[in-house]
Chain A
Amino acid sequence: MPPKTRRAGTGPTAASQSTLSFKNRVSKSKPTDSVTAVKNAKSTLNEPAQEIITEEITKQTTPEPEEQVRRPSASGKGKAEQVESPVRIVRSPARKRKVRRSINDDDEDVSFEAAEKQAQKISDAQVKKYWKAEEDLRIAPRVHQENVHLHEKILRHFDLCSEYGSCQGITRLHRWKRAQALSLNPPIEVLAVLLKEDAKGKKGEKRNTGRIAYIDELAGAREVEVAV
């Protein structure tokens, strides 16, 4: 029988503590849009004055987006007649712009996630089959690789494929990601191996492969996190 799932709220702990409720008070402040802030703010002005204000504000917003909204001061209901004057709306200079720096970032992340999902599904047998196909392309068997683990063999072969660029100065996973972003179609089995080994490393088990290319390690390189 699968273990019963514990539900919060049942059991002895449910009744002893009251749950937190944010119905009445919000502790997080959201960035306020100037127009809606005025609309939603509790105003001490009476209803007709409030309507006139919102009307003036929305009228002014469309043709002149360069003016700042002046919050009608809550200084008294008697000031209703003063709000007949047009309300100037000014956009504050710290308005958030849409980030236009790199157009392709979102697309890349999305496609890598899809590739990651696909790679998680690849089984050991599929990886072995891939490797057998690669070895069949060769005429002679590989030498001096008898004691090398299968995963490390696959990754070393990936390192030496020059169509994905140099293997030095870059981690294997980053190199795979970059190759995929450049539409070079690197083999998905290599990503599967990389993710399996990363998962092993996270769990604390001993890894069979390195994060950087073996020849790079021999040359004395250390892994470094790079953004660009």
Chain B
Amino acid sequence: MVGSQSLLHEWRADDRYGERKRQPSAYNPLYSYRLPQGEKRQYAQQFADMYFLRLQKLKATVEAIAAQDWEDYEIAGERAQRVERVLDVRQGELSWVVGTIYIDLPLKPNVLEDVSKDHFISGPPPRTSYYSTDGEPQVMLEDNSGRLRLAGVMLKQNLLVTGVILAALGTENANGDFEVLDIHIPDLPQQPPRWKRDDEEREEEDGMKVDRPATKGKKIAFVSGLEISGTDADTMHMSLLTEYLLGEALDDGEQDAATNISRLVIAGNSIAPEVIVNQPVGMEEVKRPKEKKYGYDAAAYNPAPTTHLDNLISELLPAIPVTLMSGEFDPASYGLPQQPIHPAMFPHSRTYATTNLVHPEQEEPGWFESVTNPWDGDIEGWRMLGNSGQPVDDILKYVDLGGPDGTDAEGRLEVMESMLRWRSSAPTAPDTLWSYPFQDRDPFVLSKCPHVYFAGNQPRFDTATIEGSSGQQVRLFTIPRFRETGEIVLLDTETLEAEIVKFDIHGE
């Protein structure tokens, strides 16, 4: 409850109003998910290249782990042999092979089915889950030579989705299916020590070691799913949030605690999904709107949500640095990696941002940074990786962890842990998750293990710590949708513990 020492007391002559200073934020972002600009961004590439690159990058790691483990694997005198190509497995021979998983689900959108269907029927509503209890998912292992169907109990025991690179040990049975006895995944990559990038850069520039005293109690705030629509009465919760972050709400103790929050990260979905009123839906005749020469067409564009968002952020910016990630419903590019929301959408907030849009890595980042989704970077020396929830939601469509329609709150942390152990921040891209066709590098493959991994727009707040075989420790947490729950997550920068602050209105 709010203490009333500072509110509503008698006037005192010696009242002094102290100035509070916010803890500074040590921020060093990476730009791994930025796409080339303008002409250089082409879409003529094949998506097969992405799978090729992913396999090439992770094959060596998985091979090393598998070779070490299965070196002396014996069953009834038979030793396991390494097989180069997936199609080279022979019946009755115990062998292991490395490849990419491909899962064929009965309800997965299949482009061949779409083409063969009648063109004039309107499409079915988009499915929330590809998993169906009727048909069985077919799990296959693929590499540049072909596909091999997998069978066995191991497949049900392990979480597998399309795009995972693994080594499978087993033998081919009479059907031609590969019976899997054991699998190995790349597992967590190397984790850089805290402050590594900052120290390296400082040493290059100044040639000195930097002293970093531990600052107790410094926190980073994470919020996602603000879903500002401009019409709904959602301003009350936003006002409470702004007041809390600016240190205006509650009493002295709480305001002092609020000065510990050094940065706000908005993890996607700041704009509500349906913002255009009376948008025509379906296949009926759409009246072509009259060509408007000046201004915008109100039937196609509603500026209110972005204006509200801009006002909200510019209110916060003079006092707290903000990192804004794009989300599924935000006005940013559609496929992953979503590019930053253009600063043109934020006429007031962009004065705090860098003006170099083509090469932001050459400038010091401003207090307002519009970043990609997924995003990685260093805050307070800790390597952070996060996304606005699309990869996690997509994986849950493959399995029944998330309830019958994939929207349940269970299983999110398990999926996030698996994504780190698979070393991929979006394994289902480009299969069921729209993606840019990369040809030279797959940026979704993780080469370094983050210290913190978060996913936005999840139904519930959950947190856990996972460990790796070489001492890696990662703090995982999910950020709930602010619009539904009114919760924000505070991450302590020394202990990496996550807690929530909930904003609610009595009587609602």
Contacts and interface: CB of A to CB of B under 8 A. Distances in A.
Interface of A: 65, 93-102, 162-163, 165-166, 168-170, 174, 178, 181-182, 184, 221-222, 224-228
Contacts of B48: 165-166, 168-169
Q: What is the interface of chain A mostly: helix, strand, loop, or mixed?
A: loop
Nearest to A99: B361
A168 B49 CA distance: 9
A97 B42 contact: no
Given A97-B364, A228-B440, A165 B42 contact: no
Nearest to B44: A224
A142 B228 CA distance: 65
A224 B41 CA distance: 10
A165 B45 contact: no
Contacts of A181: 440
B358 to A, nearest CB: 12
Contact of A101 (B32, B52, B57, B204): B32
A169 B45 contact: yes
B30 A224 contact: no
25 contacts: A65-B206, A95-B364, A96-B362, A97-B361, A99-B359, A101-B32, A162-B144, A162-B145, A166-B52, A168-B46, A174-B439, A178-B439, A178-B440, A182-B53, A182-B56, A182-B57, A184-B56, A224-B44, A226-B40, A226-B42, A227-B36, A227-B42, A228-B36, A228-B436, A228-B440
B35 A166 contact: no
A211 to B, nearest CB: 13
A202 to B, nearest CB: 22
B144 A169 contact: no
Interface of B: 30-32, 34-36, 39-42, 44-46, 48-49, 52-53, 56-57, 144-145, 197, 201, 204, 206, 359, 361-364, 436-441
Given A65-B206, A101-B34, A227 B52 contact: no
A38 to B, nearest CB: 18
Given A65-B206, A225-B42, 16 more contacts: A93-B364, A94-B363, A97-B201, A99-B361, A100-B31, A101-B361, A165-B52, A166-B48, A168-B48, A169-B48, A169-B439, A170-B439, A222-B44, A228-B436, A228-B438, A228-B440
A169 to B, nearest CB: 4
Nearest to A174: B439
Contacts of B30: 100-101
A102 B441 CA distance: 10
Nearest to A91: B364
B421 to A, nearest CB: 23
B363 A226 contact: no
B363 A100 contact: no
Contacts of A224: 42, 44
Give 9 nearest A-B pairs by CB, closest first: A169-B46, A227-B40, A165-B52, A162-B144, A227-B36, A166-B48, A224-B44, A169-B45, A226-B42
A170 B362 contact: no
Contact of B49 (A65, A98, A170, A184): A170
